[in-house]
Structure 1
Amino acid sequence: MRFIVEILLTGLAVFIGARYLVPGVTVDGFGTAVIAALLIALANATIGFILRVLTFPVNFLTLGLISFIISVLMILLVSNVMSGFHASGFWAAAFLAIVVAIIKAIFGSIGGTERN
Structure 2
Amino acid sequence: MKGFLIKTLINAVAIWVAAWIVNGIQLASGKADLGHKALTVVAVALVFGLVNFLIKPLVKLFSFPLFILTLGLITFVINALMLWLTSWAAGKLNLDFNVTGFVPALLGSLIISLVSWGLHLALDDD
Normalised-by-shorter TM-score class: 0.7 to 0.9
* Cα distance, 1:24 vs structure 2: 0.9
Preserved contact between residue 47 and residue 89 of structure 2 (Cα < 8 Å): no
Q: Does 2:82 align with 1:78?
A: no
Moved over 6 A (4+): none
Q: Does 2:20 align with 1:25?
A: no
* Cα distance, 1:110 vs structure 2: 2.3
> Superposition pairs for residues 50-65 of structure 1, below 5 Å?
50-65=58-73
TM-score, normalised on structure 1?
A: 0.87
* Cα distance, 1:106 vs structure 2: 2.1
Match of 1:43 in 2: 51
Match of 1:109 in 2: 121
Preserved contact between residue 12 and residue 30 of structure 1 (Cα < 8 Å): no
The letter of the residue matching 2:12 is: G
Higher relative contact order (CA 8 A, sep 6+): 2
State the distance in 2 between where 1:58 and 1:106 align: 28
* % same residue: 27
Aligned length: 113
DSSP-derived class of the 2:55 partner: helix
* Cα distance, 1:113 vs structure 2: 4.8
TM-score, normalised on structure 2?
A: 0.80
| Cα-to-partner distance string for 1:38-61 (whole Å, 9 max, x where unaligned) | 212211222221111011011122
Match of 2:5 in 1: 4
State the distance in 1 between where 2:8 and 2:69 align: 31
State the distance in 2 between where 1:42 and 1:110 align: 24
State the distance in 1 between where 2:41 and 2:68 align: 32
